[in-house]
Chain A
Amino acid sequence: MSESAYERVKLARDKDRPTGLDYIRNIFKGFIEFHGDRRYADDPAIVGGIARLNGSPVTVIAIEKGHTAKERTYRNFGAPNPEGYRKALRLMKQAEKFGRPIICFIDTSGAFCGIGAEERGQGQAIAENLMEMSTLCVPVISILIGEGGSGGALALAVADRVWMLQNAVYSVISPEGCASILWKDLAKAETAAQSLKLTAEDAKSLGVIERILSEKEIGKKEFYDRIRTLLTEELEELEHDPDLVSNRYDRFRNIGTGAVIKE
Protein backbone atom coordinates (compact mmCIF):
# COMPACT_ATOMS: atom_id res chain seq x y z
CA MET A 1 0.00 0.00 0.00
CA SER A 2 2.27 2.72 -1.25
CA GLU A 3 -0.26 5.49 -1.93
CA SER A 4 -0.48 8.30 0.61
CA ALA A 5 -3.69 8.75 2.55
CA TYR A 6 -4.68 11.71 0.42
CA GLU A 7 -4.09 9.76 -2.78
CA ARG A 8 -6.49 7.19 -1.37
CA VAL A 9 -9.05 9.93 -0.83
CA LYS A 10 -8.71 10.91 -4.50
CA LEU A 11 -9.02 7.27 -5.59
CA ALA A 12 -12.12 6.87 -3.42
CA ARG A 13 -13.67 9.91 -5.12
CA ASP A 14 -12.71 8.80 -8.64
CA LYS A 15 -15.70 9.27 -10.96
CA ASP A 16 -14.85 6.06 -12.82
CA ARG A 17 -15.26 3.82 -9.80
CA PRO A 18 -18.25 1.49 -9.81
CA THR A 19 -21.19 3.06 -7.99
CA GLY A 20 -23.79 1.51 -5.69
CA LEU A 21 -26.10 0.42 -8.50
CA ASP A 22 -23.22 -1.31 -10.31
CA TYR A 23 -22.71 -3.49 -7.26
CA ILE A 24 -26.42 -4.22 -6.95
CA ARG A 25 -26.78 -5.16 -10.62
CA ASN A 26 -23.68 -7.34 -10.77
CA ILE A 27 -23.76 -9.14 -7.44
CA PHE A 28 -27.50 -9.83 -7.15
CA LYS A 29 -30.20 -11.13 -9.46
CA GLY A 30 -33.70 -9.78 -10.04
CA PHE A 31 -33.33 -6.46 -8.23
CA ILE A 32 -36.70 -4.83 -7.60
CA GLU A 33 -36.41 -1.22 -6.54
CA PHE A 34 -38.75 0.33 -3.97
CA HIS A 35 -39.15 4.07 -3.60
CA GLY A 36 -39.97 6.62 -0.97
CA ASP A 37 -39.92 7.12 2.77
CA ARG A 38 -43.77 7.22 3.07
CA ARG A 39 -43.40 10.58 4.79
CA TYR A 40 -42.15 13.19 2.43
CA ALA A 41 -40.37 12.13 -0.76
CA ASP A 42 -38.20 9.68 -2.60
CA ASP A 43 -34.49 10.45 -2.36
CA PRO A 44 -32.62 9.38 -5.52
CA ALA A 45 -29.31 9.50 -3.59
CA ILE A 46 -30.30 6.25 -1.88
CA VAL A 47 -31.48 3.24 -3.84
CA GLY A 48 -33.11 0.27 -2.17
CA GLY A 49 -35.18 -2.81 -2.74
CA ILE A 50 -35.09 -6.58 -2.78
CA ALA A 51 -32.99 -8.96 -4.82
CA ARG A 52 -31.63 -12.48 -4.78
CA LEU A 53 -28.18 -13.40 -3.54
CA ASN A 54 -27.40 -16.86 -4.86
CA GLY A 55 -31.13 -17.52 -4.94
CA SER A 56 -31.99 -16.20 -1.46
CA PRO A 57 -33.99 -12.99 -1.04
CA VAL A 58 -32.10 -10.12 0.57
CA THR A 59 -32.76 -6.41 1.07
CA VAL A 60 -30.17 -4.23 -0.65
CA ILE A 61 -29.61 -0.54 -0.04
CA ALA A 62 -27.02 1.64 -1.74
CA ILE A 63 -25.98 5.25 -1.80
CA GLU A 64 -25.76 6.09 -5.50
CA LYS A 65 -23.58 8.84 -6.93
CA GLY A 66 -24.32 8.29 -10.62
CA HIS A 67 -21.85 8.18 -13.51
CA THR A 68 -22.77 10.86 -16.08
CA ALA A 69 -23.11 14.54 -15.22
CA LYS A 70 -26.86 14.27 -15.57
CA GLU A 71 -27.03 11.21 -13.33
CA ARG A 72 -24.79 12.76 -10.75
CA THR A 73 -26.99 15.84 -10.52
CA TYR A 74 -30.10 13.65 -10.27
CA ARG A 75 -28.46 11.61 -7.47
CA ASN A 76 -27.36 14.80 -5.68
CA PHE A 77 -23.77 13.50 -5.99
CA GLY A 78 -24.59 10.79 -3.50
CA ALA A 79 -25.40 13.20 -0.67
CA PRO A 80 -28.62 11.88 0.89
CA ASN A 81 -31.38 13.98 2.37
CA PRO A 82 -33.25 12.87 5.51
CA GLU A 83 -35.87 11.08 3.41
CA GLY A 84 -33.12 8.90 1.95
CA TYR A 85 -32.16 7.69 5.42
CA ARG A 86 -35.83 7.25 6.31
CA LYS A 87 -36.41 5.20 3.15
CA ALA A 88 -33.42 3.04 4.07
CA LEU A 89 -34.80 2.48 7.57
CA ARG A 90 -38.25 1.64 6.19
CA LEU A 91 -36.70 -1.01 3.94
CA MET A 92 -34.59 -2.37 6.80
CA LYS A 93 -37.67 -2.74 8.99
CA GLN A 94 -39.37 -4.49 6.10
CA ALA A 95 -36.39 -6.83 5.82
CA GLU A 96 -36.64 -7.56 9.53
CA LYS A 97 -40.35 -8.35 9.22
CA PHE A 98 -39.75 -10.85 6.44
CA GLY A 99 -36.53 -12.28 7.86
CA ARG A 100 -34.28 -11.07 5.04
CA PRO A 101 -30.63 -10.14 5.59
CA ILE A 102 -29.65 -6.57 4.73
CA ILE A 103 -26.70 -5.52 2.60
CA CYS A 104 -25.73 -1.86 2.32
CA PHE A 105 -23.29 -0.23 -0.11
CA ILE A 106 -21.97 3.11 1.08
CA ASP A 107 -20.43 5.85 -1.02
CA THR A 108 -21.00 9.42 0.11
CA SER A 109 -19.03 12.53 0.89
CA GLY A 110 -21.61 13.00 3.65
CA ALA A 111 -25.26 13.62 4.39
CA PHE A 112 -26.46 16.62 2.38
CA CYS A 113 -25.85 20.01 3.99
CA GLY A 114 -28.91 21.93 2.82
CA ILE A 115 -31.65 24.15 4.19
CA GLY A 116 -34.39 21.62 3.48
CA ALA A 117 -32.29 18.81 4.91
CA GLU A 118 -32.05 20.71 8.20
CA GLU A 119 -35.73 21.66 8.16
CA ARG A 120 -36.66 18.01 7.74
CA GLY A 121 -34.32 16.82 10.49
CA GLN A 122 -31.13 15.47 8.95
CA GLY A 123 -29.68 14.89 12.42
CA GLN A 124 -32.82 13.19 13.68
CA ALA A 125 -32.99 10.93 10.62
CA ILE A 126 -29.39 9.74 11.07
CA ALA A 127 -29.86 9.35 14.83
CA GLU A 128 -32.94 7.19 14.34
CA ASN A 129 -31.09 4.90 11.93
CA LEU A 130 -28.21 4.47 14.39
CA MET A 131 -30.64 3.58 17.15
CA GLU A 132 -32.89 1.28 15.16
CA MET A 133 -30.15 -0.53 13.25
CA SER A 134 -28.52 -1.48 16.55
CA THR A 135 -31.36 -3.90 17.34
CA LEU A 136 -32.41 -5.23 13.91
CA CYS A 137 -32.81 -8.97 14.38
CA VAL A 138 -31.60 -9.88 10.88
CA PRO A 139 -27.96 -9.91 9.73
CA VAL A 140 -26.61 -6.63 8.36
CA ILE A 141 -23.46 -6.31 6.26
CA SER A 142 -22.29 -2.87 5.13
CA ILE A 143 -19.62 -2.29 2.51
CA LEU A 144 -17.88 1.04 2.00
CA ILE A 145 -17.20 1.14 -1.73
CA GLY A 146 -15.86 4.70 -2.11
CA GLU A 147 -16.25 7.60 0.27
CA GLY A 148 -17.42 6.95 3.81
CA GLY A 149 -18.29 10.48 4.85
CA SER A 150 -19.03 10.76 8.56
CA GLY A 151 -22.54 10.39 10.02
CA GLY A 152 -24.03 10.22 6.54
CA ALA A 153 -22.11 6.98 5.95
CA LEU A 154 -22.48 5.60 9.47
CA ALA A 155 -26.28 5.90 9.16
CA LEU A 156 -26.11 2.78 6.94
CA ALA A 157 -23.21 1.10 8.70
CA VAL A 158 -24.43 -0.02 12.12
CA ALA A 159 -23.85 -3.55 10.90
CA ASP A 160 -22.65 -6.96 12.07
CA ARG A 161 -19.84 -6.78 9.56
CA VAL A 162 -18.40 -3.68 7.96
CA TRP A 163 -16.09 -4.11 4.99
CA MET A 164 -14.14 -1.63 2.93
CA LEU A 165 -12.81 -1.65 -0.58
CA GLN A 166 -9.05 -1.36 -0.62
CA ASN A 167 -9.20 2.27 -1.79
CA ALA A 168 -12.31 3.34 0.04
CA VAL A 169 -11.97 5.85 2.88
CA TYR A 170 -13.96 6.23 6.09
CA SER A 171 -13.70 9.42 8.07
CA VAL A 172 -15.33 11.61 10.69
CA ILE A 173 -14.68 14.67 8.50
CA SER A 174 -13.26 15.33 5.04
CA PRO A 175 -9.54 16.08 5.04
CA GLU A 176 -10.33 19.48 3.49
CA GLY A 177 -12.85 20.26 6.23
CA CYS A 178 -10.43 19.18 8.92
CA ALA A 179 -7.59 21.26 7.46
CA SER A 180 -9.69 24.37 7.19
CA ILE A 181 -11.14 24.08 10.70
CA LEU A 182 -7.96 23.11 12.54
CA TRP A 183 -5.29 24.89 10.55
CA LYS A 184 -7.31 27.41 8.49
CA ASP A 185 -5.41 26.11 5.51
CA LEU A 186 -6.91 24.00 2.73
CA ALA A 187 -3.43 23.13 1.51
CA LYS A 188 -2.97 21.06 4.65
CA ALA A 189 -5.59 18.55 3.47
CA GLU A 190 -2.83 16.03 2.82
CA THR A 191 -1.57 16.25 6.41
CA ALA A 192 -5.16 16.02 7.61
CA ALA A 193 -5.81 12.91 5.52
CA GLN A 194 -2.72 11.31 6.99
CA SER A 195 -3.63 12.29 10.56
CA LEU A 196 -7.29 11.27 10.39
CA LYS A 197 -6.38 7.60 9.79
CA LEU A 198 -9.08 7.14 7.18
CA THR A 199 -7.75 4.36 4.95
CA ALA A 200 -9.06 0.80 4.95
CA GLU A 201 -5.89 -0.41 6.70
CA ASP A 202 -6.31 2.25 9.39
CA ALA A 203 -9.98 1.38 9.89
CA LYS A 204 -9.10 -2.28 10.23
CA SER A 205 -6.34 -1.68 12.76
CA LEU A 206 -8.72 0.55 14.78
CA GLY A 207 -11.23 -2.31 14.89
CA VAL A 208 -13.81 -0.35 12.92
CA ILE A 209 -14.02 -2.82 10.02
CA GLU A 210 -13.59 -6.57 9.69
CA ARG A 211 -12.36 -6.98 6.14
CA ILE A 212 -10.59 -5.17 3.31
CA LEU A 213 -11.77 -6.13 -0.17
CA SER A 214 -9.18 -6.25 -2.92
CA GLU A 215 -9.77 -4.03 -5.95
CA LYS A 216 -8.13 -6.48 -8.31
CA GLU A 217 -10.16 -6.48 -11.55
CA ILE A 218 -12.51 -3.87 -10.08
CA GLY A 219 -15.70 -3.54 -12.09
CA LYS A 220 -15.16 -6.88 -13.85
CA LYS A 221 -17.18 -10.07 -13.41
CA GLU A 222 -14.45 -11.70 -11.29
CA PHE A 223 -14.53 -8.79 -8.88
CA TYR A 224 -18.28 -8.99 -8.29
CA ASP A 225 -18.20 -12.82 -8.16
CA ARG A 226 -15.64 -12.60 -5.38
CA ILE A 227 -17.79 -10.23 -3.33
CA ARG A 228 -20.88 -12.41 -3.93
CA THR A 229 -19.03 -15.44 -2.56
CA LEU A 230 -17.81 -13.54 0.50
CA LEU A 231 -21.30 -12.18 1.21
CA THR A 232 -22.86 -15.61 0.87
CA GLU A 233 -20.35 -17.19 3.24
CA GLU A 234 -20.61 -14.41 5.79
CA LEU A 235 -24.43 -14.42 5.80
CA GLU A 236 -24.41 -18.18 6.26
CA GLU A 237 -22.44 -17.65 9.44
CA LEU A 238 -24.45 -14.67 10.70
CA GLU A 239 -27.79 -16.36 10.09
CA HIS A 240 -26.80 -19.08 12.53
CA ASP A 241 -25.67 -16.68 15.24
CA PRO A 242 -28.14 -16.87 18.15
CA ASP A 243 -26.54 -13.79 19.75
CA LEU A 244 -26.61 -11.65 16.63
CA VAL A 245 -28.08 -8.50 18.23
CA SER A 246 -26.02 -8.58 21.41
CA ASN A 247 -22.87 -9.28 19.40
CA ARG A 248 -23.65 -6.22 17.28
CA TYR A 249 -24.02 -4.18 20.48
CA ASP A 250 -20.65 -5.42 21.74
CA ARG A 251 -19.03 -4.79 18.37
CA PHE A 252 -19.69 -1.05 18.66
CA ARG A 253 -19.53 -1.00 22.47
CA ASN A 254 -15.88 -1.94 22.46
CA ILE A 255 -14.65 0.45 19.79
CA GLY A 256 -12.52 3.20 21.28
CA THR A 257 -12.52 1.87 24.84
CA GLY A 258 -8.75 1.49 24.54
CA ALA A 259 -8.50 5.20 23.75
CA VAL A 260 -9.82 6.16 27.19
CA ILE A 261 -7.57 6.65 30.21
CA LYS A 262 -9.02 5.85 33.62
CA GLU A 263 -7.39 7.75 36.44
Chain B
Amino acid sequence: MAVMNFLKPKNQLEEGGRTSAPIQRDAGEPEKNCPNCHKDIALSRLWANDLVCPCGYHFRMKARQRIQMIADKGRFRELFSGMKADNPLNFPGYRDKIETVRAASGEREAVLCGTAMIGKQKCCLFVMESYFMMGSMGSAVGEKITLLFEYAIQYRLPVIGFTVSGGARMQEGLLSLMQMAKTSAAVKRHSDAGLLYIAVLTDPTTGGVTASFAMEADIILAEPGATVGFAGTRVIEQTTKKSLPKGFQQSEFVLEHGFIDSIIPRVSQKKYLTEILKMHDGRAI
Protein backbone atom coordinates (compact mmCIF):
# COMPACT_ATOMS: atom_id res chain seq x y z
CA MET B 1 0.00 0.00 0.00
CA ALA B 2 1.26 3.40 -0.98
CA VAL B 3 0.18 4.87 2.34
CA MET B 4 2.76 2.77 4.11
CA ASN B 5 5.58 4.37 2.18
CA PHE B 6 5.19 7.44 4.27
CA LEU B 7 4.57 5.66 7.54
CA LYS B 8 7.51 3.30 7.21
CA PRO B 9 9.94 4.78 4.76
CA LYS B 10 13.39 3.78 3.94
CA ASN B 11 15.20 6.84 5.07
CA GLN B 12 16.47 8.24 1.82
CA LEU B 13 18.04 11.17 3.57
CA GLU B 14 20.20 8.89 5.66
CA GLU B 15 20.95 6.77 2.63
CA GLY B 16 21.96 9.84 0.73
CA GLY B 17 24.50 10.49 3.43
CA ARG B 18 23.36 14.01 4.13
CA THR B 19 22.82 13.39 7.80
CA SER B 20 24.89 10.28 8.28
CA ALA B 21 27.47 12.25 10.23
CA PRO B 22 26.25 12.56 13.82
CA ILE B 23 25.17 16.08 14.55
CA GLN B 24 26.56 17.66 17.70
CA ARG B 25 23.70 18.27 20.09
CA ASP B 26 23.48 20.77 22.85
CA ALA B 27 21.58 19.51 25.85
CA GLY B 28 19.18 22.42 25.67
CA GLU B 29 18.69 22.40 21.94
CA PRO B 30 15.10 23.04 20.82
CA GLU B 31 13.23 20.04 19.55
CA LYS B 32 10.07 19.45 17.60
CA ASN B 33 7.73 16.55 18.19
CA CYS B 34 6.94 14.56 15.07
CA PRO B 35 3.21 13.90 14.67
CA ASN B 36 3.97 10.64 12.82
CA CYS B 37 6.62 8.84 14.91
CA HIS B 38 5.99 10.96 18.05
CA LYS B 39 9.72 11.33 18.65
CA ASP B 40 11.37 14.63 19.54
CA ILE B 41 13.69 15.71 16.77
CA ALA B 42 16.35 18.36 17.23
CA LEU B 43 15.52 21.42 15.15
CA SER B 44 19.05 21.59 13.76
CA ARG B 45 18.69 18.06 12.47
CA LEU B 46 15.30 18.83 10.91
CA TRP B 47 16.71 21.90 9.21
CA ALA B 48 19.62 19.91 7.82
CA ASN B 49 17.07 17.45 6.44
CA ASP B 50 14.87 20.01 4.67
CA LEU B 51 12.35 19.64 7.50
CA VAL B 52 11.87 15.92 6.99
CA CYS B 53 11.82 13.68 10.06
CA PRO B 54 14.00 10.56 9.87
CA CYS B 55 10.71 8.62 9.89
CA GLY B 56 9.81 10.30 6.58
CA TYR B 57 7.28 12.80 7.88
CA HIS B 58 7.39 16.06 5.92
CA PHE B 59 6.96 19.14 8.09
CA ARG B 60 5.61 22.31 6.53
CA MET B 61 8.26 24.52 5.01
CA LYS B 62 8.44 28.23 4.44
CA ALA B 63 8.33 29.29 0.81
CA ARG B 64 11.77 30.93 0.81
CA GLN B 65 13.38 27.89 2.38
CA ARG B 66 11.79 25.74 -0.29
CA ILE B 67 13.13 28.00 -3.03
CA GLN B 68 16.63 27.59 -1.54
CA MET B 69 16.15 23.85 -1.61
CA ILE B 70 14.85 23.67 -5.20
CA ALA B 71 16.53 26.48 -7.15
CA ASP B 72 20.21 26.50 -8.06
CA LYS B 73 22.17 28.61 -5.60
CA GLY B 74 21.55 32.31 -6.20
CA ARG B 75 19.53 31.61 -9.32
CA PHE B 76 16.06 32.64 -8.21
CA ARG B 77 14.98 36.06 -9.40
CA GLU B 78 11.77 37.17 -7.76
CA LEU B 79 9.04 38.74 -9.90
CA PHE B 80 6.00 40.82 -8.90
CA SER B 81 7.27 40.98 -5.32
CA GLY B 82 5.61 44.32 -4.62
CA MET B 83 2.07 43.05 -5.09
CA LYS B 84 -0.23 42.63 -2.16
CA ALA B 85 -3.90 42.48 -1.33
CA ASP B 86 -5.94 45.51 -0.51
CA ASN B 87 -9.21 45.15 1.39
CA PRO B 88 -11.54 45.44 -1.60
CA LEU B 89 -14.75 44.55 0.25
CA ASN B 90 -13.84 46.38 3.46
CA PHE B 91 -14.24 43.03 5.13
CA PRO B 92 -14.32 43.36 8.92
CA GLY B 93 -10.95 42.61 10.51
CA TYR B 94 -9.19 41.80 7.24
CA ARG B 95 -6.85 44.77 7.17
CA ASP B 96 -5.60 44.12 10.71
CA LYS B 97 -5.32 40.42 10.08
CA ILE B 98 -3.26 40.85 6.96
CA GLU B 99 -0.95 43.41 8.56
CA THR B 100 -0.33 41.03 11.47
CA VAL B 101 0.37 38.18 9.07
CA ARG B 102 2.71 40.35 7.00
CA ALA B 103 4.70 41.31 10.05
CA ALA B 104 4.87 37.74 11.36
CA SER B 105 5.72 36.05 8.07
CA GLY B 106 7.92 38.73 6.55
CA GLU B 107 6.05 38.24 3.27
CA ARG B 108 3.65 40.54 1.49
CA GLU B 109 1.47 37.79 0.09
CA ALA B 110 0.80 34.05 0.10
CA VAL B 111 2.80 33.23 -3.02
CA LEU B 112 6.32 33.93 -4.25
CA CYS B 113 6.91 34.01 -8.00
CA GLY B 114 9.98 34.30 -10.14
CA THR B 115 12.35 32.80 -12.64
CA ALA B 116 14.81 30.16 -11.53
CA MET B 117 17.42 27.72 -12.68
CA ILE B 118 16.76 24.20 -11.47
CA GLY B 119 19.59 21.82 -12.30
CA LYS B 120 20.73 24.44 -14.86
CA GLN B 121 17.29 24.36 -16.50
CA LYS B 122 15.56 27.69 -16.78
CA CYS B 123 11.95 27.88 -15.63
CA CYS B 124 9.32 29.98 -13.94
CA LEU B 125 8.73 29.03 -10.33
CA PHE B 126 5.96 29.81 -7.88
CA VAL B 127 5.88 28.67 -4.29
CA MET B 128 2.89 29.27 -2.05
CA GLU B 129 3.41 30.26 1.58
CA SER B 130 1.59 28.29 4.27
CA TYR B 131 2.67 30.81 6.89
CA PHE B 132 0.63 33.51 5.15
CA MET B 133 -3.06 32.90 5.93
CA MET B 134 -2.52 29.23 5.06
CA GLY B 135 -1.75 30.07 1.46
CA SER B 136 -5.25 31.34 0.84
CA MET B 137 -5.87 32.72 -2.64
CA GLY B 138 -7.08 36.29 -2.91
CA SER B 139 -6.79 38.79 -5.75
CA ALA B 140 -3.05 39.33 -5.29
CA VAL B 141 -2.22 35.62 -5.29
CA GLY B 142 -4.39 35.09 -8.38
CA GLU B 143 -2.83 38.08 -10.10
CA LYS B 144 0.76 37.01 -9.37
CA ILE B 145 0.20 33.46 -10.57
CA THR B 146 -1.59 34.68 -13.70
CA LEU B 147 1.23 37.14 -14.42
CA LEU B 148 3.76 34.33 -14.00
CA PHE B 149 2.01 32.09 -16.55
CA GLU B 150 1.75 35.05 -18.93
CA TYR B 151 5.46 35.74 -18.44
CA ALA B 152 6.19 32.06 -19.09
CA ILE B 153 4.19 32.21 -22.34
CA GLN B 154 6.08 35.31 -23.45
CA TYR B 155 9.51 33.78 -22.80
CA ARG B 156 8.47 30.21 -23.64
CA LEU B 157 9.39 28.81 -20.26
CA PRO B 158 8.06 25.86 -18.28
CA VAL B 159 6.33 26.58 -14.98
CA ILE B 160 6.94 24.69 -11.77
CA GLY B 161 4.53 25.44 -8.94
CA PHE B 162 4.52 24.31 -5.31
CA THR B 163 1.02 24.58 -3.92
CA VAL B 164 -0.13 24.88 -0.33
CA SER B 165 -3.50 26.39 0.36
CA GLY B 166 -6.57 26.29 2.53
CA GLY B 167 -8.50 27.53 -0.52
CA ALA B 168 -9.94 30.83 -1.62
CA ARG B 169 -9.49 33.80 0.74
CA MET B 170 -13.01 34.44 1.96
CA GLN B 171 -12.27 38.00 3.08
CA GLU B 172 -12.10 38.95 -0.59
CA GLY B 173 -15.42 37.26 -1.38
CA LEU B 174 -16.33 36.84 -5.03
CA LEU B 175 -13.07 38.41 -6.14
CA SER B 176 -11.24 35.43 -4.62
CA LEU B 177 -13.57 32.98 -6.33
CA MET B 178 -12.89 34.63 -9.68
CA GLN B 179 -9.15 34.04 -9.26
CA MET B 180 -9.85 30.35 -9.86
CA ALA B 181 -11.22 31.15 -13.32
CA LYS B 182 -8.52 33.70 -14.04
CA THR B 183 -5.57 31.47 -13.14
CA SER B 184 -7.15 28.52 -14.97
CA ALA B 185 -7.48 30.54 -18.16
CA ALA B 186 -3.80 31.52 -17.92
CA VAL B 187 -2.77 27.89 -17.36
CA LYS B 188 -4.82 26.92 -20.43
CA ARG B 189 -3.07 29.52 -22.61
CA HIS B 190 0.30 28.31 -21.37
CA SER B 191 -0.71 24.72 -22.11
CA ASP B 192 -2.06 25.59 -25.57
CA ALA B 193 1.29 27.22 -26.31
CA GLY B 194 2.84 23.77 -25.89
CA LEU B 195 4.60 24.61 -22.67
CA LEU B 196 5.19 22.39 -19.66
CA TYR B 197 3.62 22.93 -16.25
CA ILE B 198 4.50 20.78 -13.25
CA ALA B 199 2.61 21.15 -9.97
CA VAL B 200 3.97 19.82 -6.69
CA LEU B 201 1.18 19.57 -4.12
CA THR B 202 2.32 20.05 -0.54
CA ASP B 203 0.44 19.85 2.73
CA PRO B 204 -2.32 21.00 2.62
CA THR B 205 -3.60 21.67 -0.90
CA THR B 206 -7.36 22.09 -0.69
CA GLY B 207 -10.44 24.03 -1.80
CA GLY B 208 -10.25 26.54 -4.60
CA VAL B 209 -6.58 25.90 -5.32
CA THR B 210 -7.18 22.16 -5.76
CA ALA B 211 -10.17 23.08 -7.93
CA SER B 212 -8.01 25.26 -10.17
CA PHE B 213 -4.29 25.42 -10.95
CA ALA B 214 -3.15 22.62 -8.61
CA MET B 215 -5.05 20.04 -10.66
CA GLU B 216 -4.36 21.55 -14.08
CA ALA B 217 -0.70 20.67 -14.54
CA ASP B 218 0.71 18.33 -17.19
CA ILE B 219 2.48 16.49 -14.41
CA ILE B 220 1.08 16.52 -10.88
CA LEU B 221 3.41 15.49 -8.07
CA ALA B 222 2.85 15.51 -4.33
CA GLU B 223 4.83 15.26 -1.14
CA PRO B 224 4.35 12.17 1.03
CA GLY B 225 1.49 12.44 3.48
CA ALA B 226 0.21 15.76 2.13
CA THR B 227 -3.50 16.47 2.48
CA VAL B 228 -4.91 16.92 -1.02
CA GLY B 229 -8.62 17.42 -1.53
CA PHE B 230 -11.45 19.75 -2.38
CA ALA B 231 -13.75 19.78 0.65
CA GLY B 232 -12.58 19.84 4.26
CA THR B 233 -12.85 16.57 6.18
CA ARG B 234 -15.09 18.10 8.85
CA VAL B 235 -17.56 19.31 6.24
CA ILE B 236 -17.59 15.89 4.60
CA GLU B 237 -18.25 14.15 7.91
CA GLN B 238 -21.06 16.57 8.70
CA THR B 239 -22.59 16.20 5.23
CA THR B 240 -22.38 12.43 4.91
CA LYS B 241 -22.53 11.39 8.59
CA LYS B 242 -19.99 8.71 7.72
CA SER B 243 -16.54 8.10 9.08
CA LEU B 244 -13.81 8.66 6.58
CA PRO B 245 -11.71 5.85 5.11
CA LYS B 246 -8.16 5.45 6.38
CA GLY B 247 -5.67 7.79 4.74
CA PHE B 248 -8.54 9.76 3.17
CA GLN B 249 -7.30 12.79 1.19
CA GLN B 250 -3.66 11.96 1.79
CA SER B 251 -1.50 12.17 -1.29
CA GLU B 252 -1.05 8.36 -1.29
CA PHE B 253 -4.85 7.96 -1.36
CA VAL B 254 -5.19 10.53 -4.14
CA LEU B 255 -2.45 8.76 -6.11
CA GLU B 256 -4.33 5.47 -5.77
CA HIS B 257 -7.45 7.13 -7.14
CA GLY B 258 -5.59 8.36 -10.17
CA PHE B 259 -5.24 12.10 -9.68
CA ILE B 260 -1.50 12.38 -9.01
CA ASP B 261 1.36 11.21 -11.23
CA SER B 262 3.83 10.43 -8.48
CA ILE B 263 4.72 11.09 -4.86
CA ILE B 264 8.20 12.51 -4.55
CA PRO B 265 9.86 12.99 -1.17
CA ARG B 266 11.63 16.29 -0.66
CA VAL B 267 15.09 14.78 -0.85
CA SER B 268 14.51 13.63 -4.44
CA GLN B 269 12.50 16.57 -5.74
CA LYS B 270 15.26 18.64 -7.27
CA LYS B 271 16.77 15.73 -9.16
CA TYR B 272 13.35 14.54 -10.30
CA LEU B 273 12.28 18.00 -11.51
CA THR B 274 15.62 18.52 -13.26
CA GLU B 275 15.20 15.24 -15.11
CA ILE B 276 11.68 16.09 -16.25
CA LEU B 277 12.74 19.59 -17.32
CA LYS B 278 15.61 18.10 -19.34
CA MET B 279 13.30 15.63 -21.05
CA HIS B 280 11.11 18.52 -22.21
CA ASP B 281 13.98 20.73 -23.27
CA GLY B 282 13.47 22.09 -26.75
CA ARG B 283 10.17 20.28 -27.22
CA ALA B 284 8.05 23.35 -26.85
CA ILE B 285 9.49 25.42 -29.68
Contacts and interface: CB of A to CB of B under 8 A. Distances in A.
B170 A130 contact: no
A120 B138 CA distance: 27
A48 B251 CA distance: 33
A249 B146 CA distance: 11
A3 B108 CA distance: 38
Given A158-B181, A198-B173, A255-B178, A127 B215 contact: yes
B259 to A, nearest CB: 5
Interface stretch (B31-39, B115-123, B229-237, B273-281): B229-237
B231 A113 contact: yes
A116 to B, nearest CB: 9
B230 A118 contact: yes
A256 B88 contact: yes
Contacts of B192: 135
B85 interface: yes
B91 interface: yes
Interface string A114-130: 11011111111011101
Contacts of A128: 215-216
Contact of A120 (B140, B248, B257): B257
Given A117-B230, A171-B174, A127 B143 contact: no
Given A115-B248, A127-B215, A263 B82 contact: yes
B84 A197 contact: no
Contacts of A135: 185, 188, 192
B180 interface: yes
Interface string B176-197: 1111111011111101100000
Contacts of B48: none
B257 A262 contact: no
Contacts, number: 202
Interface SS of A by simple majority: helix
Nearest to B249: A118
Given A113-B236, A260-B83, A260-B143, A122 B174 contact: no
B184 A134 contact: yes
A249 B174 contact: no
Contact of B84 (A118, A150, A253, A263): A263
Given A120-B257, A172-B168, A263-B108, A252 B88 contact: no
A122 B231 contact: yes
Contact of A124 (B142, B208, B215): B215
Given A124-B259, A261-B85, A263-B82, A196 B236 contact: no
Interface stretch (B51-59, B60-68, B238-246): B238-246
B214 interface: yes
B216 A114 contact: no
Interface in B133-181: 138-140, 142-143, 146, 168, 170, 172-181
B174 A198 contact: yes
Contacts of B232: 113
B92 interface: yes
Contacts of A170: 174, 177
Contacts of B239: 112-114
A181 interface: yes
A5 to B, nearest CB: 11
A195 B92 contact: yes
Contacts of A181: 170
Interface in A175-193: 177-178, 181-182, 191
Given A126-B230, A151-B208, A260-B139, A121 B83 contact: no
A112 B230 CA distance: 10
Nearest to A191: B92
Contacts of A112: 239
A257 interface: yes
Given A117-B231, A127-B184, A261-B83, A255 B175 contact: yes
A11 interface: no
B6 interface: no
A115 B211 contact: no
A252 B180 CA distance: 9
Interface stretch (A50-58, A94-102, A201-209, A221-229): A201-209
B188 A131 contact: yes
Interface string B216-236: 100000000000011110011
A98 to B, nearest CB: 22
Interface of B: 82-86, 88-89, 91-93, 108, 138-140, 142-143, 146, 168, 170, 172-182, 184-189, 191-192, 207-208, 210-216, 229-232, 235-236, 239-240, 242, 244-245, 248-249, 257-259
Interface of A: 111-115, 117-124, 126-128, 130-132, 134-135, 150-151, 154-155, 157-158, 170-173, 177-178, 181-182, 191, 195-198, 202-203, 206, 208, 248-249, 252-253, 255-263
